[in-house]
Structure 1
Amino acid sequence: MTSAQMVAAARARIEEVETTDLIAQLDNPDLVIVDIRDIRERQRTGAIPGSVHAPRGMIEFWVDPESPYFKDVFAQGEKRFVFHCASGWRSALTVATLQDMGFAAAHLREGFSTWEAQGGPVEQIGS
């Protein structure tokens, strides 16, 4: 299976959120946006204000309450989690994996790539 096939299979079974729809929900206190991009990507292009940074390499461990690396932010079961990366590929795979773990989440279909162009606010991240 190719990586493109893996992404397509993931997208076929997860919830995808359009950029404009997520922008419209930014003030929702029940929404948690999770940025899985590398810290260097965030420093280079900025981030969605208020988003939680959870590097792709650690996300399964941070979400799993039985893991020694568990992060409390993921214990908010009443919140809606939307994950994103740069283009929507990594976040699609991530959300499919989290869904397999029993963690409900969606992902930003086009990732951060269209965020600013579609009117989404961006905060700069220090180095």
Structure 2
Amino acid sequence: MAISKGYKALLEEAMQQIKTMPLEEARELYELSEACFIDIRDIRELERDGMIPEAVHAPRGMLEFWVDPDSPYYRDVFGQSGPFILYCQSAWRSALATLTLQQMGMENVCHLEGGFKNWMGAGLPIAEKRAVNH
């Protein structure tokens, strides 16, 4: 099956339209508790690697439903003003997710430069996956 647009083109388009939060700026917002970090990785990734402390786990497959107030799956955390910093492992899924949320009309949303891999590599705080995180 031939595809007309691959993931690289999708990522390139997303990156032109979204804000990428530099790691140092994200760290500062984290330390000041001035941002809501949203972990969109699969639960198995969280269990294996942990997550940013106090981050909200919103699986990529449910994100649009959790953000939309008209959805039966809506989560109150998304009613806050933000800023919201999305992250995944390598900043691919979070780039596409950030673009989707912007297209839904969500403001004050960006994604973390380099993803969780970058956060871990910088030796920043990591917590074990919590059973309930919102």
Task: Give 2:127's aligned amino acid.
Answer: E
Give, in angstroms, the shift of residue 114 of structure 1. Answer: 1.3
**Structure 1 residue corresponding to 2:69, chosen from 65, 72, 81:** 65
Question: Which sections of structure 1, spanning at least 5 residues, go unmatched?
Answer: none
105, 113, 123: which one aligns with 1:109: 113
SS at match of 2:31: coil
Within 2, Cα distance between the matches of 1:117 and 1:59? 26
Deviations 1:90-109 (A, max 9, x none): 00000100000001210012
**3-state SS in 2 of match to 1:49:** coil
C-alpha RMSD over aligned residues:
1.3
Identity %: 42
Q: How does 1:24-35 map to 2 (within 5 A)?
A: 24-35=28-39
The aligned residue for residue 60 of structure 2 is 56
1:18 paired residue number: 22
The alpha-carbon distance between structure 1 residues 126 and 70, as it changes in their structure 2 partners (threshold 3 A), is closer
Moved more, 7-16 or 115-124: 115-124
Following the alignment from structure 2 to structure 1, what is the Cα–Cα distance between the partners of residues 68 and 45? 25
| CA offsets 1:17-37 (integer angstroms, 9 cap, x no match) | 112221122133331000000
Structure 1: distance between partners of 2:79 and 2:14: 24
Q: Is the 8 A contact 1:16 1:109 kept in 2?
A: yes
**Deviation by residue 1:38-94 (Cα, 9 ceiling, x = unmatched):** 0100110110000000000000010001111110000012x2100000000000000
User: Hey, what's the Cα distance between the residues in 1 that align with 2:30 and 2:19?
Assistant: 18
Aligned to 2:41: 37
**How many pairs align?**
126
Q: Segments of 4+ in structure 1 off by > 2 A?
A: 27-30
Report what 1:120 is aligned to: 124
